[in-house]
Amino acid sequence: MERPFPTVAVVGLGTMGAGVAVAVAKSGRRVIGIEATEDSAARALARIKEATAHAVGRERLTAEERTGLLARISVGHELAAAAGADLVIEEVPEQLELKREVFAELDRICPEGTVLATGTTALSVTRIAAATARPERVLGLHFFNPVHGMKLVEVVRTVLTSPRTAEDAAAFARDLGKEPVAAGDRAGFVVNGLLFAYLNQAAAMFESKYASREDIDAAMRLGCGLPMGPLALLDLIGVDTARTVLEAMYEQSRDRLHAPAPILGQLVAAGLLGRKTGRGFYTYEAPGSSRAVDAATGPALPKVPGREVRTVGVCGSGTMATGIAEVFAKAGHPVLLAARSQEKAEAAKAQLARSLERSVAKGRLSAQARDAALALVTPVGQYTELAEVDLVVEAVAEDLAVKRELFATLDKIVRPGAVLATTTSSLPVISCATATSRPQDVIGMHFFNPAPAMKLVEVVSTVLTAPDVTATVLELTAKVRKHPVECGDRAGFIVNALLFPYLNDAVRMLQEHYATVDDIDTAMKLGCGYPMGPFELLDVVGLDVSLTIERVLHQEFREPGLAAAPLLEHLVAAGCLGRKTGRGFRDHARR
């Protein structure tokens, strides 16, 4: 089959345009590079030569491949040269009127069969196409930066783009070694449509002083496995770019979650655009540097001394309870693993022993350390055994009535001065605290599953938590080799408050038939470096658990955009809960 678009013109040879030109030439195609002036064309060609020399040094290209690649690229400053191309890719600055002017001129210059593609990240492809007399042969080809390293290309169709044009564009992207995903024409397309709403909420969270920038970034890296925290990513992208994308999204959606957080406008007005200016949410060594000079390198130190914690009680017999008990035992703390019966407690310790054994088998733990940890865990079938411990961590069912009853019981049993912690991920910590006569001693200690492997712990203080209790848990979390992040007692804390609206947005995108499950998952993994796509993650977490958290967030913040997507509610009602039932957004083989 004939390869689509043997000759490609690239209009605008900035960072993105130059990257696209090199990728196209590398595929064996002829490239016509076009810049605005003779001087800018010369500079662009010099940049391409420098970038390809760097690629040879990094062994991404051989010297011979570079020579052949450069021979296929010509660079000039006359737009009329685009008449010789089968496909024109526009990569000029992100200004609608400028792009429309370029497309109107290309429409006049180029033969009728030439396909015109815009590289816009946020503007309406339809409005750009309307500047031409060939809207059926206009589409978006959104490459990601750096082009040589990012495999994703969003192929953006308007309502008038012909199926043949979209198919040829996807085949072209595959021939470049890229992974195309199909998207419709709405602000942000797939990746930015999901990513920037999340970044916006992170900026608003920081602006409200709910958590520090370091804690927000650490929470999302360690709690979700993301390659960068949201505020560091905003600095990398450019605060001005992020604000432009969000403005375009808000103009289309009128969703308040897309309205740029005021702090973004303030930073832009002050010229603090992120790495490129040397300062944004963080301050950098120099403009263009990636090294932040004012970022804390570890968890914040407590402001007051904490209480001594030697012995720990863990309430519960499920996966979280046994995982938390394992964490403390491996750190050398005697642990009482308390369940509603001795039989359940013994079974929980057996589960813990199996976990330790797996660590030994994988070479992560010595047999001696396994035996020492196991010896520190004592299973008990009555909560009265917890009377003298220094810290109790509750890890029972995520049911407020059950937790309040347990805290009322612990209040009568556990010695004065002991810290009482809940591992809730979605319930108000203050409701657990007010079930006791000592709410100042109650705090949230939200471990992530599996607790032995996940580094993050959200330390959640209520309006009544004593400062030395917060200090105690921050210090202890660091001592057991976890990374504490400090936040207040509101729905979702840091991670779930940022993660689940993003997952909900993905469900809405699917529900509106905007893109498929596979394309959305592929886009977020390849475009953002996420370890899992949103639907993979929803099926792992459980759709019922996800729906509960969505409802809690909506109830707390009363934001219309946080209301659970109807498709999520329908799947839960049908019993399609993800991997645990064998079916969710995908079908899973039952084991």
Which tokens hold the place of 326? 């394992």
Q: How far apart are CA 397 and CA 93, in angstroms?
A: 53
Tell whether 380 is covered by a domain.
yes
Regarding whether 438 and 317 lie in a shared domain, the answer is yes
Residue with tokens 């195609």: 29
Mean pLDDT of 188-195: 94
Regarding whether 199 and 180 lie in a shared domain, the answer is no
E strand or H helix that includes residue 140: strand 138-143
Last residue of a domain, one of 490, 510, 537: 490
Tell whether 589 is covered by a domain.
no
Query: Chain-wide mean pLDDT for the chain?
Result: 95
Regarding whether 519 and 451 lie in a shared domain, the answer is no
Regarding whether 178 and 61 lie in a shared domain, the answer is yes
Are the C-beta atoms of residues 16 and 22 closer than 8 Å to each other?
no
Mean pLDDT of 198-225: 97
pLDDT range class, residue 301, cuts 50, 70, 90? low
Mean pLDDT of 457-478: 97
The two most distant CA atoms of the chain are separated, in Å, by 85
Regarding whether 262 and 168 lie in a shared domain, the answer is no
Q: What is the pTM of this model?
A: 0.91
* % of the chain at pLDDT higher than 70: 99
Counting beta carbons within 10 angstroms of the beta carbon of residue 209, is it exposed (0 to 12), middle (13 to 18) or buried (19 or more)? exposed
The total number of structural domains in the chain stands at 4
pLDDT at 144: 94
Tell whether 292 is covered by a domain.
no
CA 131 → CA 96, 105, 166, 520, distances in Å? 11, 9, 19, 30
Poorest-pLDDT segment among 1-15, 86-100, 251-265, 290-304? 290-304
Contacts of 474 (CB under 8 A, 6+ apart): 299, 300, 301, 302, 306, 459, 484, 486
Tell whether 586 is covered by a domain.
no
Last residue of a domain, one of 185, 218, 238: 185
Tell whether 140 is covered by a domain.
yes
Mean pLDDT of 276-301: 88
Q: What is the pLDDT of residues 387-405, one digit of tens each?
A: 999 999 999 999 999 999 9
Regarding whether 259 and 231 lie in a shared domain, the answer is yes
Poorest-pLDDT segment among 104-113, 285-294, 432-441, 454-463? 285-294
| pLDDT of 15 higher than 70 | yes
Number of H helices and E strands in the chain, helices first, is: 22, 16
Q: What is the pLDDT of residues 125-161, one digit of tens each?
A: 999 999 999 999 999 999 998 999 999 999 999 999 9
pLDDT at 591: 47
E strand or H helix that includes residue 514: none
* % of the chain at pLDDT higher than 90: 92
Q: How far apart are CA 506 and CA 494, in angstroms?
A: 19
Regarding whether 215 and 152 lie in a shared domain, the answer is no
Regarding whether 90 and 49 lie in a shared domain, the answer is yes
CA 509 → CA 188, 286, 505, 556, distances in Å? 12, 39, 6, 24
Give the CATH number of the domain where residue 352 resides: 3.40.50.720
Tell whether 207 is covered by a domain.
yes
Regarding whether 366 and 392 lie in a shared domain, the answer is yes
Mean pLDDT of 328-339: 98
| pLDDT of 526 higher than 60 | yes
Are the C-beta atoms of residues 48 and 73 closer than 8 Å to each other?
yes
Residue 557 structural domain: 495-581
Regarding whether 160 and 96 lie in a shared domain, the answer is yes
| pLDDT of 366 higher than 60 | yes
| pLDDT of 1 higher than 70 | no
Tell whether 445 is covered by a domain.
yes
Regarding whether 180 and 202 lie in a shared domain, the answer is no
Are the C-beta atoms of residues 215 and 495 closer than 8 Å to each other?
no
| pLDDT of 384 higher than 80 | yes
Helix axes 342-361, 319-330, angle to 10 degrees: 60
Mean pLDDT of 444-459: 96
pLDDT range class, residue 426, cuts 50, 70, 90? confident
| pLDDT of 327 higher than 50 | yes
Higher pLDDT: 590 or 376? It is 376
pLDDT range class, residue 590, cuts 50, 70, 90? low
Strands 152-157 and 138-143: antiparallel
Give the CATH number of the domain where residue 503 resides: 1.10.1040.10
Q: What is the pLDDT of residues 45-55, one digit of tens each?
A: 999 999 999 99
Tell whether 530 is covered by a domain.
yes
pLDDT at 171: 97
Mean pLDDT of 358-387: 96
Are the C-beta atoms of residues 480 and 456 closer than 8 Å to each other?
no
Regarding whether 156 and 229 lie in a shared domain, the answer is no
Last residue of a domain, one of 458, 490, 522: 490
